[in-house]
Structure 1
Amino acid sequence: MKELEDICSVQVRFSEIDSMRRVWHGSYVIYFEDGRESFGRHYPGIGYADMQRAGIYAPVYELRAKYYAPLFINERVEIHTHYVHKLGARLDYFYRIYRESDHILCAEGSTTQLFIDSQGELMTELPFYYQEWQKKYLGIAE
């Protein structure tokens, strides 16, 4: 199976740092979100706008993070977002966050999103647009 990865870059903003002048641990969740949004633009058909058009949403069900090295204001952050294929009506991603200047791994984590329909009910079948996306990028026919 193909490995799908997107790499994007953001700059640490003042609003993301804590009293120790380091990026606050909760800000990494925003970097994961930045990675997912960029991934959806890089691999069209699975982005948030695609979900909204289909009346389907994918809230985060599980999030994990590990922190290794600090980031500081105005540093550039490189976000590596990897799609992880798993069976079922879900989206799984793995992230690595690097300091761009020296390519030090600062954090890594993962998220699992589950699909819900417009009434807020959990979906057990793959949404049509997700099936089409898997065919196009993974060669998977459900």
Structure 2
Amino acid sequence: MHVVKTPIEVRYQETDQMGVVYHANYLVWFEIARTKFIESLGFSYADMEKEGIVSPVTDIQVSYLKPVKYGDIATVETWLASYDGIRSVYAYNVKVNDEKFVTGSSEHVIVKKDGFRPVSLRKKFPDWHEAYQANVME
């Protein structure tokens, strides 16, 4: 299984008055980590967007097990949990000192930027499709 680990230094502005990371910031961390995962396979969202294609979120799940706090160094582990040629599901673990604090997943499709019509990754980006098939956890 291809897992990418992305370090995140918790910044003060990401926390609430209790010094706990505000819940929505994990979604930003997921995006940072997902981008690093894609880059680790040799691809980029920027190249996709140059082709008039975007990858919106169609579903997101987050489970908060423990609070990550200001001053912590978190690591977001990311992998491809499932892929069917149209939909990609990325999974995430947010860890502090190798202990799991948050888990989650996000589902994405690729669509034409103008009109949001779904596009097959296999047809539009065959190299990307092959890399996903080779690295999906299923």
- TM-score bracket, shorter-length normalisation: 0.7 to 0.9
State the AA in 2 paired with 1:64. Answer: Q
Q: Distance in 2 between matches of 1:86 and 1:138?
A: 7
State the AA in 1 paired with 2:116. Answer: E
Corresponding residue for residue 116 of structure 1: 111
Alignment of 1:1-142 (within 5 A): 3-45=1-43, 47-99=44-96, 102-126=97-121, 127-129=123-125, 131-136=126-131, 138-139=133-134
Instruction: Please tell me whether the aligned partners of residues 89 and 108 of structure 2 are also in contact (alpha carbons under 8 angstroms).
Output: yes
Per the TM alignment, residue 40 of structure 1 is displaced from its structure 2 partner at its CA by 1.8
Q: Distance in 2 between matches of 1:71 and 1:139?
A: 33
Deviation track 1:70-105 (CA, whole Å, cap 9, x = no partner) reads: 111121110100112321412210000001xx3211
Q: 1:96 to 1:44 in 2, by over 3 A?
A: same
State the AA in 1 paired with 2:5. Answer: I
Deviation track 1:13-68 (CA, whole Å, cap 9, x = no partner) reads: 111101221111111111101111111221112x2112112210001111000011
Unaligned runs of 5+ in 1: none
In angstroms, what is the RMSD of aligned CA positions? 1.8
Q: Distance in 2 between matches of 1:137 and 1:84?
A: 10
Q: Distance in 1 between matches of 2:77 and 2:16?
A: 23
Per the TM alignment, residue 9 of structure 1 is displaced from its structure 2 partner at its CA by 0.3
Q: Name whichever structure is richer in strand by fraction.
A: 2
Instruction: Please tell me whether the aligned partners of residues 88 and 124 of structure 1 are also in contact (alpha carbons under 8 angstroms).
Output: no
Unaligned runs of 5+ in 2: none
State the AA in 2 paired with 1:112. Answer: E
Identity percentage of aligned residues: 25
TM-score of the superposition, structure 1-length normalised? 0.85
State the AA in 2 paired with 1:19. Answer: Q
Aligned length: 134
Q: Distance in 2 between matches of 1:14 and 1:120?
A: 39
